[in-house]
Amino acid sequence: MNYQSAEFIISAAKLKDCPADSVCEVAFAGRSNAGKSSAINTLTRQGQLARTSKTPGRTQLINFFQIAEQQYLVDLPGYGYAKVPMKMKNNWQIHLEQYLNVREPLAGLVLVTDIRHVFKEFDQMMIEWARANELPLHILLTKSDKLKRGGINDALSKARRQVEGMDASVQAFSSLKRQGVDVLANKLDSWFVA
Ligand code: GTP
Ligand code: MG
């Protein structure tokens, strides 16, 4: 799959705004500020494709990027950002839940987690949700540039233990250093329709 040809299609506020022609999509989920949008930009080699920010909560809509006919990468709103009005927070968490529970073309979930925080409550919840729904899961332990080799290996072991027995894989990733991009691309290739 040629991820570099990715094109922004739509920011969906609701499930009904999501592209109707999608037959296969892969969603990036994770806590606010984990590095989801950065990972999509790194994968697609397009620095500005998904908007990133030092301020958590940057991505508040469900953003669709087309990578081939009827196939999409999806940047989900970050979970757990408190500094927004309560009503707004509720709304987007409801849409996120609806998306995950209803969206037929969803072929796999990339859970993006800061490698220094394996795993927080939200991540556990997503892992359990993937297990219950038998959805393939790929965990990106991102910002791996922040740790030394030993720390990276510890985080990888810890993460792998948590998903034992599941259709799940784990890798270290750094958008800053562009590390782990091929591993991620190969995983996504296995989920998308050739
Ligand atoms: P929301 O849209 O708020 O949910 O956040 P997000 O998960 O999309 O995170 P985003 O990609 O916007 O990145 C958040 C911050 O982390 C930014 O300041 C990025 O520059 C930084 N960041 C992302 N990936 C990496 C990485 O691999 N290494 C380092 N050191 N910083 C990173
Ligand atoms: Mg984002």
2 pLDDT more than 90: yes
Q: How far apart are CA 173 and CA 58, in angstroms?
A: 21
State whether the beta carbon of 60 lies less than 6 angstroms from ligand 1: no
Find the ligand nearest to 39 CA: 1
Q: Is residue 44 left, alpha or beta, with left meaning phi > 0 and alpha meaning psi from -120 to 50? A: alpha
Residue 7 confidence class, pLDDT cut points 50, 70, 90: very high
Q: How far apart are CA 82 and CA 147, in angstroms?
A: 27
Residue 108: phi, psi to the nearest 5? Answer: -170, 160
Looking at residue 86, what is its pLDDT? 63
State whether the beta carbon of 143 lies less than 6 angstroms from ligand 1: yes
Looking at residue 87, what is its pLDDT? 64
Q: Please report where in the chains the tokens 């409801």 appear, as a residue.
A: 94
DSSP per-residue letters across 50-110: S---SSTT---SEEEEEEETTEEEEEPPPB---SS-HHHHHHHHHHHHHHHHH-TTEEEEE
The token pair at 69 is: 């006919």
Identify the burial level of 99 via C-beta atoms within 10 angstroms of its C-beta, where 0-12 means exposed, 13-18 middle and 19 or more buried: buried
23 pLDDT more than 70: yes
Closest approach atom of ligand 1 to CA 60: 2
Residue type, 87: K
Closest approach atom of ligand 1 to CA 173: 27
Domains along the sequence of the chain with CATH: 3-191 (3.40.50.300)
State whether the beta carbon of 89 lies less than 6 angstroms from ligand 1: no
Q: If you measure from the C-alpha of residue 37 to the centroid of ligand 1, how many angstroms do you get, rounded to a whole number?
A: 7
| Count of CB atoms situated within 10 Å of the CB of 102 | 10
State whether the beta carbon of 59 lies less than 6 angstroms from ligand 1: yes
Looking at residue 115, what is its pLDDT? 98
Q: If you measure from the C-alpha of residue 123 to the centroid of ligand 2, how many angstroms do you get, rounded to a whole number?
A: 16
Residue 59 confidence class, pLDDT cut points 50, 70, 90: low
> Across residues 159-170, what is the average pLDDT?
97
Q: If you measure from the C-alpha of residue 42 to the centroid of ligand 2, how many angstroms do you get, rounded to a whole number?
A: 13
Looking at residue 97, what is its pLDDT? 80
Alpha carbon dihedral 87, 64, 179, 143, in 10-degree steps, equals 0
How far is Cα of residue 78 from the mean position of the Cα atoms in its chain? 9
State whether the beta carbon of 53 lies less than 6 angstroms from ligand 1: yes
In this predicted structure, which of 82-86, 153-157, 171-175 has the lowest mean pLDDT?
Answer: 82-86
Write the pLDDT tens digit of every residue in 85-122. Answer: 666 666 667 777 888 888 999 999 999 999 999 999 88
State whether the beta carbon of 55 lies less than 6 angstroms from ligand 1: no
Contact 112, 37 (CB under 8 A): no
State whether the beta carbon of 41 lies less than 6 angstroms from ligand 1: no
Q: How far apart are CA 39 and CA 142, in angstroms?
A: 8
Whether this prediction's pTM lies above 0.80 is answered by: yes
